[in-house]
A and B are shown apart, each in its own frame.
Chain A
Amino acid sequence: MFRKFLVLFVSIITFLACSSSEEITPTIIDGFDRNALLENIADNIIIPAYEDFSGKMNALKTAGDTFSTAPNQSNLEALRVSWFAAYKTWQHIEMFDIGKAEELQFKFYMNIYPVTVSDIEDNITNGSYDLNSVNNQDAQGFPALDYLLHGLADSDAAILEKFTIAEDNDNYKNYLIAILNQMNTLTTSVVSDFKAQRNAFVISTENTATSSVNKLINDYIFYYEKGLRANKFGIPAGVFSENALPEKVEGQYKNDVSKELALDALTAVQNLFEGRHYNAATTGVSFKDYLVKLNRTDIATSTSDQFDIAGSQVEKLDNSFAAQIDTDNTAMTMAYDELQKAVVLLKVDMLQAFNVSIDYVDADGD
């Protein structure tokens, strides 16, 4: 008897030891092809969006250089146009907090708003600053450019003065260039790294907290809840505070672009859900397909519908969310409520259906 137990014991231990140190990653060929999902997202969404953004970022930097050499009205306007074009494309990539983007905290250096004006002005006055410092995250990126291009003074003439006849005009120009260089360097690094890692990205399909597929899903939901729902709508509309905070809208100095940016972001979120190729009508393998495969067409349809409902609610808002909040904040909170309903569908229903291991909860279950 005892011998039997000893053999049993040893074989269990061996079995467990072997299975936990399993190194072979089998190619996944079940009903749902996660590999194809990741390939579609990488090749048809992330990489084209990254490339588009990279190009627009380059154009923005060139426009900045031109403006800096010749700060005049037409160069200022050209720079503003480049800024907005790049900012719109940014809305399609902020949610990809993966790889180098996560490591460098890309989104925190590109789009923390509102900026801290005193930090920007201090940096400019001192003429020395470390843009890699976490303390300067709220003094750079698109929101800082927004301030420099639209918010320095009340009129274009007065803004141009800062870059031309003001005593420290060189400091202003230098700061503008420094911010653009920083944004461009980060972008180049993130984009080239993702392209280099593409193959590793698409095969990482296992259900672990660190696999591409799980991180992508988690980041996606987190972005939708925080970056989109809360930052663009909830916080400025005063959902989380006693009073509305219209100064916290995205693009507050340009002022009339917050709706367009938010709609771009919402489109990007819905496109990823439905696997729609970047800037195209074609769709590929998506989260939605995955839900359908799991016999959860109910979640798949409800989520797409809810994105549509939320989108049309946002369409009704003023181009300037700040103006909307001042005149009729109820419409703003109604849009927020519709966006929130999609949070429930993604975070509760979709996550439950996928049953992905999530990064932040690793305690035992029973």
Chain B
Amino acid sequence: MFMKRFKYNFKEQTNAAPLAIFRLFFGLMMFASILRFWAKGWIEKLYLVPKFHFSYFGFSWVKPIGDYTYLLFIICGVSAIFVAIGYKYRVAIITFFLSFLYIELMDKTTYLNHYYFISIVSFLLIFLPANAYFSLDAFVQKKQYKLVPKWTIDSIKLMLVIIYLTAGFVKLNSDWLFRAMPLKIWLPSKYDLPFIGENLMQQNWFHFAMSWSGMLYDLAIPFLLLYKRTRFVAFLFVVFFHVFTRLLFPIGMFPYIMIVSALIFFDATLHNKIINFIKKHIIKSKTILLLEPNFHFSKLKSKVVLSLFAVFFAIQMLLPWRSLLYPGELFWTEEGYRFSWRVMLMEKAGSTNFKIVNLNSGASFRVNNTDFLTSFQEKQMSYQPDFILEYAHFLGDHFTKQGYNNVGVFATSYVALNGRLSTRFINEKVDLYQQKVSFTHKKWILPFQSQIKIKGI
């Protein structure tokens, strides 16, 4: 009985409409995101103005490509449109995935969990028959499929479930639950919100209520969405939660993407109604396409994709917990912090300055960070150890190239975390230029010294 319940039928077919609608909205959202990014002048500000870019380990070869960076965004935006309408779908989604990934890898200063979300979802979409139904590809081939393998749609649901659950589990820590941090810092600063800014946002109980309900929301919402009878209410929660966070925080398009993604949990009746609505009012097409009942992967293809997905989801489930392999306080060292759905868990800021020392004579001078970094980069660099190390190497190389000898690079760094007073962050006596960039524990980060420890996951 137990086994039976958990036995998954990979042969089961289901209506293709939810996948088609997901594809359509995802593509449109991505196009809007790219347009918005461009319109805000961020391409220039984040990728063209900086003289130096922070790279992900092993991806230092991915850099902005001058004015061609705009072309890259055009390619990414156009391919998003192609994905939306489902035209040359496979090529379009691969192009979108690669161009978006390239953009994200250019500079890790701009890392956001929701960009990571977009990258992995577009990766999944490469392998899904999202153009089988209600797509331009189907129109051109005059043939569309009513049913697709159920696991294709379920794989997107699984991804969302993993994200929500992980985001919920990582909120089980003392800062979030018992100090209401960082919401206690962020919410009162929204004093200028109409109606609620001056009262609700300032209340201690409200900070705690928000922390706890955020945690409960993340842990419960996947189940409420999966269960048919609670689904509509759950969706209302999703909308409320994301719209509310959108009003409070500068999180761009992410809330809308999450709201639209949650539609995948509904059954096909809804999606078919949306499709009929679009057909009737927007496309106004009366063409009737030949409707094939079933879309099937070939046996081999299905085997390959399923094994790939097995590996992929295993990684997705394990990767957020890699931080357990490192000693020390995760929020302090941030070793294994990225790619783990730790969303809005920290208010962290720092001040980090570098001293270039001639190791023979002891002569030294300090670096003015603004000579090399934009204020945004400096802000990010100041409290993230991997940024500090990469920048120290850049400075070492730069001044060596300038003709200085026996260059040593030392950092004076203070960091404040979740409302604690700032304390020293980096061991000032360690020559960072001699430290290798790697995934091993960074011994030159001073231990987290605050009396107020962080307990939990």
Contact = CB atoms under 8 A, between A and B. Distances in A.
Contacts of B344: 365-366
Interface in B161-213: 185-186, 188-192, 194, 197-199, 202
Interface in A204-244: 205-208, 230, 234, 238-242
Interface of B: 40, 42, 45-46, 110, 112-114, 185-186, 188-192, 194, 197-199, 202, 232, 236, 239, 243, 246-247, 249-252, 254, 269-270, 273-274, 277, 343-344, 347, 349-351, 353, 363, 365-368, 375-376, 379, 382, 414-416, 419, 421-422
Contacts of B190: 207
Nearest to B109: A363
Contact of B197 (A2, A26, A242): A26
Given A8-B236, A15-B243, A365-B112, A352 B375 contact: no
25 contacts: A2-B273, A2-B274, A16-B246, A22-B194, A25-B192, A26-B192, A26-B194, A26-B197, A29-B198, A30-B197, A234-B366, A238-B365, A240-B367, A240-B368, A294-B188, A348-B422, A349-B416, A349-B422, A361-B379, A364-B251, A364-B254, A365-B251, A366-B112, A366-B113, A366-B344
Output the residue of A25, A205, A230, A352 with the most chain B CB within 10 A. Answer: A352
A1 B270 contact: yes
Nearest to A211: B192
Interface of A: 1-2, 4-5, 8, 12, 15-16, 19, 22, 24-26, 28-31, 34, 205-208, 230, 234, 238-242, 294, 296, 298-299, 302, 340, 343-345, 347-349, 351-356, 360-366
A345 B422 contact: yes
Contacts of B375: 360-361
A298 B353 CA distance: 24
A315 B86 CA distance: 73
B247 to A, nearest CB: 6
B194 A24 contact: yes
Given A1-B273, A242-B363, A366 B251 contact: yes
B198 A26 contact: yes
Contact of B365 (A2, A239, A354): A239
A206 B197 CA distance: 10
Given A239-B366, A365-B249, A206 B192 contact: yes
A366 B189 contact: no
Contacts of A294: 188
B236 A299 contact: no
Contacts of A349: 416, 421-422
Nearest to A3: B273
Contacts of B194: 19, 22, 24, 26
Given A348-B351, A355-B189, 13 more contacts: A2-B273, A5-B270, A24-B194, A26-B192, A26-B197, A238-B365, A347-B351, A348-B349, A348-B350, A348-B382, A348-B422, A360-B376, A366-B343
A353 B190 CA distance: 13
A28 B198 contact: yes
A364 B189 contact: no
Contacts of B254: 364, 366
Contacts of A356: 189
Nearest to B254: A366
Contact of A353 (B185, B198, B269, B353): B185
Nearest to B249: A365
B365 A364 contact: no
Most buried by A among B247, B343, B419: B419
Contacts of A22: 194
A205 B192 contact: yes
B46 A352 contact: no
B189 A207 contact: yes
A353 B250 contact: no
B198 A364 contact: no
Given A2-B270, A348-B414, A31 B422 contact: no
A26 B201 CA distance: 14
Given A1-B269, A30-B202, A242-B363, A361 B419 contact: no
A363 B198 contact: no
Contact of A344 (B110, B247, B273, B422): B422
Contacts of A29: 198
A26 B199 CA distance: 12
A240 B365 CA distance: 5
A277 B249 CA distance: 36
A50 B415 CA distance: 37
Contact of A241 (B249, B350, B365): B365
* Candidate in B197, B350, B414 with the most chain A CB atoms within 10 angstroms: B414
In this complex, which of B42, B236, B422 has the most chain A Cβ atoms within 10 angstroms of its Cβ?
A: B422
B42 A363 contact: yes
B252 A364 contact: yes
A364 B199 CA distance: 26
Contacts of B347: 352, 355
Contact of A352 (B112, B191, B273, B349): B349
Contacts of B243: 12, 15-16
A362 B249 CA distance: 12
A1 B236 CA distance: 13
A344 B270 contact: no
A298 to B, nearest CB: 5
Contacts of A362: 40, 250
Nearest to A8: B239
A272 to B, nearest CB: 20
A355 B112 contact: no
A352 B379 CA distance: 12
A1 to B, nearest CB: 5
B365 A343 contact: no
Contacts of B376: 360-361, 363
